Amino acid sequence: MSLPDVVRRAARAALDKKATDVVALDLRPGASFTDFFLLASAANQKQIVAIADAVQESLREEERLRPAHVEGYPRQEWILLDYGSFVVHVFTTRMRTFYDLERLWGGATRVEVAG
């Protein structure tokens, strides 16, 4: 399955900051609020911020996109960037395991994004 260029660009920005387990979930068949989730894990809170900042900077510079909504910077355990047609989730490993969005959206097509 092919991902939209903008989702690939966000994934590339995350991978450039050493994000791990980068996965896209195609939600189009079952969700009306967005088309894709892009999930990424980070080793620590400092890396979460670096990944989220890199995604925002890359999309702002290359696509002229800004997120419509941002959550999570104060706690730095799960940062969410809502771009409308896709949502970026950057987690600590512990928070990603706890919320387990892959299981919650089990019917979505999972696309591994290679580094």
Domains of the chain (ranges; CATH) run 5-112 (3.30.460.10)
Is residue 113 pLDDT above 70, yes or no? yes
Are 3 and 24 a contacting pair, CB within 8 Å? yes
DSSP 3: P
Q: List helix spans (H) across the chain.
A: 5-16, 45-63, 93-99, 101-104
Is residue 11 pLDDT above 70, yes or no? yes
Digit-coded pLDDT (tens) for 67-87: 999 999 988 899 999 999 999
- Provide the whole-model pTM: 0.94
Report how far residue 27's alpha carbon sits from residue 106's, in angstroms, rounded to the nearest whole number.
10
The residue among 114 and 17 whose pLDDT is bigger is 17
What percent of the residues of the chain are helix, what percent strand, and what percent coil, each to the nearest 5?
35, 30, 35
Is residue 59 pLDDT above 80, yes or no? yes
Digit-coded pLDDT (tens) for 39-49: 999 999 999 99
